[in-house]
Structure 1
Amino acid sequence: MDLLERLVTLFAENGYAAVFIALLLCGAGAPLPEDITLVAGGVITGLGYGNVHIMFAVSMVGVLLGDAGMFLLGHHYGARILQWRVVARVLTPERYAKVQEKFERYGNRLMFIARFLPGMRTAVYITAGTTHRVSFLRFFLLDGFAALISVPIWVYLGYFGANNHEWLVMWIRRGQSSLWALGGIILVVVLVLWWRHRRRVAREAGRES
């Protein structure tokens, strides 16, 4: 966890602003793990360099702004954004086609799932914008709901484990696996509710006819 230690040092010296900027870079596809960045932000509050509740708020804003920025860039420039050298490193034409295929299969639910898929978030959010199949409000609500699950887990984990490095590393590893499982469970619940809603609508339409 050398990266975690380096981020803790950087954030302790520069405070909330450094965490905020780092999270914007995460949203832009920089090779910086968002979960480790959030944990580092929590750690410095546990060490007395800030307030954990303020750190949570700052982290939420940084995460959502970074994600929204990618969506809006895709929405404004469309597929032309794939020609940008910086974007092409994150979203190759092959990857773009693959994400589009997943949108066809999972629809808007993919935007919620993406938050729990490290390395896929930026590609999914840019693609969501380029497709013009979803409004910004829907995107923001889905992404915000997912962030309300993941962001506090990482920030408060860092806060409570600030003085116990071994315990913290253990729970980071467990947390990474648990978030995948949690995201899967929530997806299954959403699909079941959607399926039941469709059946109810179909039954009501059958009675009316």
Structure 2
Amino acid sequence: MDDSLIQCLWHSKETLACLTPYAYQPIWIYTFLVVMMLLSAIGLPFPEEATLVSVGVLAYMGSNPDKYPPPYEGAPHVHAETAAIVAFLIVWLSDFWVYGVGRLFGRRIFEWKPIKSVLSEKNRLRIEEWTQKYGAYACGIFRFTPGIRFPGHLACGMLKFPAWKFLVIDGIAALISVPTQILLLAYYGDHILYYLKQFKIGVLIVLVILGLYFLYKKYFAKRAVA
């Protein structure tokens, strides 16, 4: 389902019509949101940003029945505010759960094979540097840094930062980063999708130019060797 949402986003605004039925299945979508946020929080490769954007688009569609007709009149739809609250609460509580695991098991948790397999040496050193430099405020930095959120929150627990301070700092960071992604798309979907389309065109032009540049270099490199 998540792949379908992203594929439709990558195409054009009109192709979002293929997702209209999902916009009118709020219970299913809220459940999907909770599951994906939990999987992301525990370090699995499910980017929470992709999920939040997808749900935001569905909320936008559900609030515009004139553009994306419901299956029947009065059909329930995905509400932006409800989705934003659900997303914030599950992210905040999941982060605190990860913090608790780090606090319970301590430094030896970074020796576990599943953790070592996803945590590069570079990211481990970055986590240590940030926690030493910023202390408990690193909790907020990790929330804005995909790829090291999970081990970063483990480290906050491992270093036994005060639980109340983690909850406050991480809560503020989550409140800034999580609901806004859903609400912005739900309220300003028209403008965002327009600029997304323009961005795609710009990316395509840059890729074409880079491709021609490398072909040009390769061609003249061969001639120089000849």
Aligned to 1:158, the other structure's residue is in SS state helix
The residue type paired with residue 29 of structure 1 is: G
1:96 deviation in Å?
A: 3.2
* Residues 56 and 181, structure 2, Cα contact 8 Å, conserved in 1: yes
Q: Which runs of 5+ in 2 are unaligned?
A: 10-18, 63-76, 201-226
Deviations 1:104-131 (A, max 9, x none): 1121221112222121211210111111
C-alpha distance in 1 between matches for 2:198 and 2:93: 27
**Could you tell me which residue of structure 2 aligns to residue 136 of structure 1?**
163
C-alpha distance in 1 between matches for 2:198 and 2:102: 35
Assess, with a 3 A threshold, how the Cα gap between structure 1 residues 168 and 27 changes in structure 2: closer, same or farther: farther
1:45 deviation in Å?
A: 1.6
**Could you tell me which residue of structure 2 aligns to residue 67 of structure 1?**
95
C-alpha distance in 2 between matches for 1:77 and 1:67: 16
* Residues 127 and 152, structure 2, Cα contact 8 Å, conserved in 1: yes
* Residues 22 and 29, structure 2, Cα contact 8 Å, conserved in 1: yes
1:169 deviation in Å?
A: 3.1
Structure 1 position 20 matched with structure 2 position 25? no
Structure number with greater Rg is 2
Deviations 1:171-191 (A, max 9, x none): 999xxxxxxxxxxxxxxxxxx
C-alpha distance in 2 between matches for 1:58 and 1:7: 24
**Could you tell me which residue of structure 1 aligns to residue 178 of structure 2?**
151
* Residues 7 and 40, structure 1, Cα contact 8 Å, conserved in 2: no
**Could you tell me which residue of structure 2 aligns to residue 5 of structure 1?**
6
Identity rate of aligned residues, in percent? 28
Aligned to 1:147, the other structure's residue is in SS state helix
C-alpha distance in 2 between matches for 1:35 and 1:99: 21
For normalisation by structure 1, the TM-score amounts to 0.70
Deviations 1:28-83 (A, max 9, x none): 11222222211112221222231111101100111112211211111111122123
**Aligned residues: CA RMSD:** 3.1
Assess, with a 3 A threshold, how the Cα gap between structure 1 residues 165 and 101 changes in structure 2: closer, same or farther: closer
* Residues 37 and 90, structure 2, Cα contact 8 Å, conserved in 1: yes
Q: Which runs of 5+ in 1 are unaligned?
A: 174-209
Which of residues 22, 38, 43 is equivalent to 1:29? 43
Tell which deviates more after alignment, 56-65 or 92-101.
92-101
C-alpha distance in 2 between matches for 1:69 and 1:172: 37
